[in-house]
Amino acid sequence: MNKTLMTDTTEEPRYELYYWPQIPGRGEFVRLVFEDAGAPYTDVARLPAEQGGGIPAMMAVMKGGSPGLVPLAPPFLKIGELVIAQTANICLFLARRFGMVPGDETRQAEAMQLQMTVADFVAEVHDTHHPVATGAYYEDQKPEAHKRAAQFLDTRMPKFLGYFERILAVQATRGPGRFVLGEAISCVDLSLFHIVAGLRYAFPNGFAAFASHAPHLIELHDRVADRPNIAAYLASERRLPFNQHGIFRHYPELDAD
């Protein structure tokens, strides 16, 4: 058994994350919630087939081979007969269980708003390299990707990151070391950490040029990276490196000069 990936114990509930095994992708936003909470989970598709893993195991659930609502696309989470999809939905579901969002309804709605804004942004990052068709190769949409990435760096990235920066700036007026929703970390903060890391990988020049406009976001990234469970995760083989197949891809021709 691969102990580094099979982190489950005999404790209930048994959390099973299903996601493409070779990329951080959208699955990473979910992994970060488990990792920061120190909650055991199984990254099913990264296990060998003989241990019930691999992509076929994921496809079997997507084809309805399991009780529960059929997911359209990974990532999805399986807890016994419960299957839930949509990254923002999964993150909030787990964050509620792990005490990683405030308890009252209003703040939970705010958390969902921010997590869905993260999801919108992630889709825009994806579209920088796949502006025409998700199912087509990047090489077949390079001119469009070039235009889209330039727009992204010029207007969309500043718009989204500027939004989160403003929220963090307001929190900073209330005291040091605060997070987007207040004194305690939430799944949204973990997602913002990953977004900063991903943008630094994908657009080293474009992000560096913008970074001075987002000091609170950068500080949040560094603070999250230093959290003991996150630091241990980043140093482990459970953390997949960014690569040319995920959401955050580094194509030098799409970056700023």
Ligand X SMILES: N[C@@H](CCC(=O)N[C@@H](CS)C(=O)NCC(=O)O)C(=O)O
Judged by the rule CB under 6 A, the positions of this chain that interact with ligand X are 25-26, 73-75, 86-87, 119, 134
Rounded least distance, CB 141 to ligand X, Å: 16
Strand order in the sheet with 16-18: 42-43, 16-18, 76-79, 82-85
Which one, 9 or 134, has the nearer CB to ligand X? 134
Phi, psi dihedral angles at 74 (to 5 degrees)? -75, 155
Query: Is the distance from CB of 194 to CB of 225 less than 8 angstroms?
Result: no
Which one, 91 or 216, has the nearer CB to ligand X? 91
Rounded least distance, CB 86 to ligand X, Å: 5
DSSP H or E segment with residue 77: strand 76-79
Query: Is the distance from CB of 220 to CB of 168 less than 8 angstroms?
Result: yes
Which one, 27 or 171, has the nearer CB to ligand X? 27
Which one, 113 or 205, has the nearer CB to ligand X? 113
Is residue 84 exposed (0-12), middle (13-18) or buried (19+ Cβ within 10 Å)? Answer: middle
Rounded least distance, CB 22 to ligand X, Å: 11
Calculate the CA 166 to chain-centre distance: 21
Rounded least distance, CB 103 to ligand X, Å: 25
